[in-house]
């Protein structure tokens, strides 16, 4: 395990984070934005377990954090999908460029 320094993990997770960020800024479809958000959440997960494993192996906090994050991410994805579907019904489009006003 220790043949890979911690820093490599962190670089990987940072790269994944910023890939997700790029996707979030660039994509026009709301569902693809949601996918980018999932990537971001996963990069955070990697971070947590890496720190847990390398710096505090005696406790399991990072692992549990990741578990909870996965659960919450699932709930959040479900709610987001529900909203997207609702929006699709009223506007017939899920292009994020069109959803820039509070008025209907």
Partner 1 sequence: MSPLILILLLPFLSFVISGLWGRKYLKNLAGILSTTTVLASFVISVTTAYRYFFVDGKVAGKFVAQYPVDFKWLEFTPDLSIHLGILIDPISVMMLLVVTFISLMVHIYSLGYMKGEERYATYYSFLSLFTFSMLGLVVATNIFQTYIFWELVGVSSFLLIGFYYSKPSAVAASKKAFIVTRFADLGFLAGILILSYYSGSLEFKDIIARYTDSSSPHLQAAISSSFLGVSALSWGLVLVFIGGAGKSAMFPLHVWLPDAMEGPTPVSALIHAATMVVAGVYLVARLFPVYAISCPAALHVVAVVGVFSSAFAALIACTQTDIKRVLAYSTMSQIGFMMFALGVSGYGGEAGLGYMASMFHLFTHAIFKALLFLCAGTVIHFVHSNEIKDMGGLKKSLPITHIAFLLACLAISGIPPFSGFFSKEEILTAAYHHDKLIFWVAVVTAGLTSFYMFRLFFSIFYRGEENTHAQSHHGEGTSSMLAPQIILAFGSVLAGLIPFGKFVTSDGVGLEAHTDWNFSLLPIALSSTGILFAIYFFMKDNDKAEVLASKFGSVYISLKRKLYIDEIYEFVTKRIIFNLIAQPAAWFDKNIVDGFINTIGKATQVFSLTTSVWQSGKVQAYSAWLLAGTLVVLIMCLYYLQLL
Partner 2 sequence: MMDASVISFYVISAFLLTFGLMAVTAKKIFRSAIWLLFSLVGIASLYFWMDLQFLAAVQIIVYIGGIVVLIIFSIFLTQDSGSALPRAIKSRKIGAALLSVFGFGIIATLLARTAFIETTTPMDVEMKTIGFKMLSLGGDGYALPFELVSILLLAAMIGCIVIAVKNIPGKP
Which residues contact partner 1 (rule: CB under 8 A)?
21, 24-26, 33, 96-97, 99-102
CB neighbour burial string for 45-73, b if at least 16 within 10 angstroms, e if fewer: bbbbebbbebeeeeeeebeebbeeeeeeb
By the rule CB under 8 A, 100 interacts with partner 2: no
**Closest among 21, 62, 63, 65 to 39, alpha carbons compared:** 21
Binding partner 2 (rule: CB under 8 A), the pick from 19, 44, 100, 104 is 19
Q: Is 102 in the site for partner 2 (CB under 8 A)?
A: no
Q: Does 44 contact partner 2 by CB under 8 A? A: no
| C-beta closer to partner 1: residue 33 or 62 | 33
């Amino acid at each position: 395990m220790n043949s890979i320094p911690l820093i490599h993990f962190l670089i990987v997770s940072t790269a994944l984070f910023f890939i997700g960020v790029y996707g979030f800024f660039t994509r026009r479809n709301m569902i693809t934005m949601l996918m980018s958000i999932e990537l971001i959440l996963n990069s955070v997960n990697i971070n947590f377990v890496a720190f847990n494993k390398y710096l505090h192996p005696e406790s399991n906090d990072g692992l549990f954090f990741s578990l909870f994050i996965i659960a919450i991410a699932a709930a959040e994805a479900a709610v987001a999908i529900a909203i997207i579907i609702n929006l699709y019904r009223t506007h017939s489009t899920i292009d994020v460029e069109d959803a820039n006003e509070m008025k209907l």
